[in-house]
Chains A and B, each alone.
Chain A
Amino acid sequence: MGMTIAEKIIARAAKATEAHAGNIYVVELDHLMSNDGTTHLTIDMYNKLKNRKIYDKSKLVWIVDHNVPCDSPKTAASQKKMRDFAKENGITFHEGDGICHELMIEKYVNPKELIFGADSHTCSYGELGAFGTGVGCTDYLYAMVTGKSWVLCPETLRFNFTGELQNGATARDLILTIIGRIGANGANYKAMEFAGPGMKNLTMSDRICICNLCVEAGAKTALMEVDDIAKAYLKEHGREAADGFVSDEDAVFEKVYDIDLSEIVPVVAKPHFVDNVSPVSEVEDVKINEAFLGSCNNGRIEDLRLGASIIKGKKVAEGVRFLVSPASREVYDQAMSEGIIETFMEAGAIVVNPNCSVCWGSCQGVIGEGEVLISTGTRNFKGRAGDKNSFVYLGSAATVTASAVAGRIVGADKI
């Protein structure tokens, strides 16, 4: 019986010849990522164990990215706990280098790996052919101590892409359109696999953007084949251009969707649900107070280039705050060398350091009662970016930047 990419990765991690959807497997993890959202809780639980031992510290990557720079004495205490523990135990540690998923993709993820991350957007690693999935800090602790965990092998929803994005549509518009179509729990417990002839027209940045947002449809993971574009990325980032898995011809998919990329148009997700999706053209009278370009979804150099090309020579609208946060140090350095940071600064944007920033809704750019934000962040839940009575729209780097200039939500073709 044929297997999907997800089934093959779980079979490999379970050291089994086959794995199939619906069965529970005990698996060995290849990487264990955790960030400052919950690592202090993991450490507290670890310290209460009698036999304290990390199974294999070389698998652990700890990243401070949610509250950077630190915003309160309470957060400072939990980050200090994480920093000290990482040093004492020889755990790979990053602080201020960027958002956890961006760093994992730039530096650590390899094809065929099974990765747990104590963060819901760990599904971001599929463009490198790796099965990343989010877990809580208790599951993380268990895997950190035993090296293993249990997983329910997921069914796969397969998306076949044909054609090419056009009409100002981006990968962000594509994945929002898909989530709008299948719903916020349309892929709950499932893997979303993307394939087809249209894949060759999607850059690595596009692919990361697509995989990253799949958890907003409930997905356990997102997966893609490792083609020449993915291999070139691995090589550029100093890693072996290893092969990934490909789903067998007779693999069983729960459902197959055919999507013509040329039919995608710029869209936004309206408050307060990521699947509440409409064409940008239908919300163009909505005035904004703040715009945010950044996050693990859209903070890469390609997103900043797109934003800069739109805002160059223009100004951020009066009364609007426009925050820009490159997703990592690598992205920030590249943006500086290309003059992109300068372009944003000249336009009146606030360029901040690489971190989760506005998307996390805690340390930077929090919005007040009744305010409206348009964001490339991952979520628009009620209160996600600040006051419980505020409003978040999600859109592409192009839509967000154009809206920052216009002072209201507009497509990039309108400015």
Chain B
Amino acid sequence: MASFTGKVFVLGDDIDTDIIIPTEYLALKTIEDMRPYGFYPLRPELPSLIKPGDIIVAGSNFGCGSSREQAPEVIKALGVKCVVAKSFARIFYRNSINNGLLLIENSDIQDKIKEGDELTVEPGRELVLNGEAFKIGSLPDNLMDILNEGGLVNAMKKRNGVK
């Protein structure tokens, strides 16, 4: 995956799946219909501010709560290129990889970053903020393959044959 630079939106700890997409909007027909309600209980203005390629930086336990897969799908539909957090809840982590949303665990930049900063991401290598580099880990190969295919269904179609 090639490196990229995006504008940062900063969120706190324990951003749960009900905040990312509240239950009452799950009945909407498509992810595109749900998109305007992303982060509605916390920051209803975010969907109108986030531009394709932007980055979310958050604290610990991002994505805790329900197994609703609409959560990573809505974040992806908003155009968010990746989420950097101190830690991720495990179901959300799997769901994000399965939907081709890049997640990066890092606990060093949260104290130094502010909303609107530009962050450069070199997947598997480093984050660069205001000229300062922060090392990041890389995903195991089996997960990187899923991510590079754009998600688990695409990866499975490749193995399983596609319509």
CA separation between A137 and B162, bound complex, in Å?
A: 19
CA separation between A305 and B95, bound complex, in Å?
A: 39
Chain A residues lying within 8 Å of B24, measured Cβ to Cβ, are 361-362, 366
- List B residues 16-44 near A (Cβ within 8 Å): 16, 18-19, 22-24, 26-29, 40-42
Mostly, the A contact residues are: loop
Q: Which of A49, A120, A142, A150 has the most CB of B within 10 A?
A: A120
Quick check: is B149 within 8 A (CB to CB) of the other chain?
A: no
Chain A residues lying within 8 Å of B22, measured Cβ to Cβ, are 361, 383, 388
Given contacts A120-B65, A382-B18, contact A51 B23 (CB under 8 A): no
Partner of A388 from the list B41, B61, B89, B95 (CB cut-off 8 Å) is B41
Given contacts A49-B163, A384-B18, contact A135 B27 (CB under 8 A): no
Q: Are A49 and B157 in contact (CB under 8 A)?
A: yes
Partner of A75 from the list B18, B27, B42 (CB cut-off 8 Å) is B27
Residue of B nearest to A120 (CB): B67
- List A residues 130-144 near B (Cβ within 8 Å): 134-139, 141-142
Query: Measuring CB to CB, which residues of chain A are less than 8 angstroms from any residue of chain B?
Result: 24, 37-38, 41, 45, 48-51, 72, 74-75, 78, 118-120, 122, 134-139, 141-142, 145-146, 150, 184-185, 188-189, 215, 218, 220, 273, 360-362, 366, 379, 381-384, 388
- Mark B38-72 against chain A: 1 for CB-CB distance below 8 A, else 0: 00111000000000000000001100111111100
Residue of A nearest to B24 (CB): A362
What are 13 contact pairs spanning A and B, CB under 8 A?
A24-B140, A37-B66, A37-B67, A49-B163, A50-B161, A118-B67, A136-B67, A138-B99, A145-B160, A185-B64, A185-B87, A218-B61, A383-B19
Q: Are A360 and B23 in contact (CB under 8 A)?
A: yes
Partner of B67 from the list A78, A134, A379 (CB cut-off 8 Å) is A134
Residue of B nearest to A76 (CB): B27
Residue of A nearest to B89 (CB): A218
Chain B residues lying within 8 Å of A379, measured Cβ to Cβ, are 16, 18, 65-66
Quick check: is B151 within 8 A (CB to CB) of the other chain?
A: yes
Chain A residues lying within 8 Å of B23, measured Cβ to Cβ, are 360-362, 384
Quick check: is B7 within 8 A (CB to CB) of the other chain?
A: no
Partner of B156 from the list A38, A134, A142, A384 (CB cut-off 8 Å) is A142
CA separation between A311 and B24, bound complex, in Å?
A: 32
The distance from the CB of B135 to the nearest CB of chain A, in whole angstroms, is: 21
Q: Are A220 and B161 in contact (CB under 8 A)?
A: no
Q: Are B18 and A49 in contact (CB under 8 A)?
A: no
Quick check: is B130 within 8 A (CB to CB) of the other chain?
A: no
Chain A residues lying within 8 Å of B61, measured Cβ to Cβ, are 184-185, 188, 218
Quick check: is B152 within 8 A (CB to CB) of the other chain?
A: yes
Q: Are B95 and A138 in contact (CB under 8 A)?
A: yes
CA separation between A49 and B64, bound complex, in Å?
A: 30
The distance from the CB of B27 to the nearest CB of chain A, in whole angstroms, is: 4
| Other 4 A-B pairs with CB < 8 A, given A41-B70, A188-B89 | A184-B64, A383-B18, A384-B23, A388-B40
Q: Are A120 and B91 in contact (CB under 8 A)?
A: yes
- List B residues 63-97 near A (Cβ within 8 Å): 64-70, 87, 89-91, 94-95
Closest 7 CB pairs between A and B?
Answer: A136-B95, A388-B41, A185-B61, A383-B41, A136-B69, A138-B98, A50-B161
Residue of A nearest to B29 (CB): A74
Chain B residues lying within 8 Å of A38, measured Cβ to Cβ, are 67-69
Q: Are B163 and A382 in contact (CB under 8 A)?
A: no
Chain A residues lying within 8 Å of B99, measured Cβ to Cβ, are 138
CA separation between A120 and B90, bound complex, in Å?
A: 10
Given contacts A49-B157, A185-B87, A388-B40, contact A138 B29 (CB under 8 A): no
CA separation between A383 and B19, bound complex, in Å?
A: 8
Q: Are B67 and A218 in contact (CB under 8 A)?
A: no
Q: Are B65 and A72 in contact (CB under 8 A)?
A: no
Chain A residues lying within 8 Å of B60, measured Cβ to Cβ, are 185
Q: Which of A24, A138, A362, A382 has the most CB of B within 10 A?
A: A138
CA separation between A383 and B41, bound complex, in Å?
A: 6
- Mark B89-122 against chain A: 1 for CB-CB distance below 8 A, else 0: 1110011001100000000000000000000000
CA separation between A379 and B153, bound complex, in Å?
A: 30
Given contacts A38-B68, A218-B61, A379-B65, contact A72 B18 (CB under 8 A): no
The distance from the CB of A166 to the nearest CB of chain B, in whole angstroms, is: 32
Quick check: is B14 within 8 A (CB to CB) of the other chain?
A: yes
Chain B residues lying within 8 Å of A24, measured Cβ to Cβ, are 140, 142
CA separation between A184 and B14, bound complex, in Å?
A: 8
Chain A residues lying within 8 Å of B90, measured Cβ to Cβ, are 188-189, 218, 220
Q: Are B67 and A135 in contact (CB under 8 A)?
A: yes
The distance from the CB of B6 to the nearest CB of chain A, in whole angstroms, is: 25
Q: Are B162 and A381 in contact (CB under 8 A)?
A: no
CA separation between A360 and B29, bound complex, in Å?
A: 19
Chain A residues lying within 8 Å of B157, measured Cβ to Cβ, are 48-50
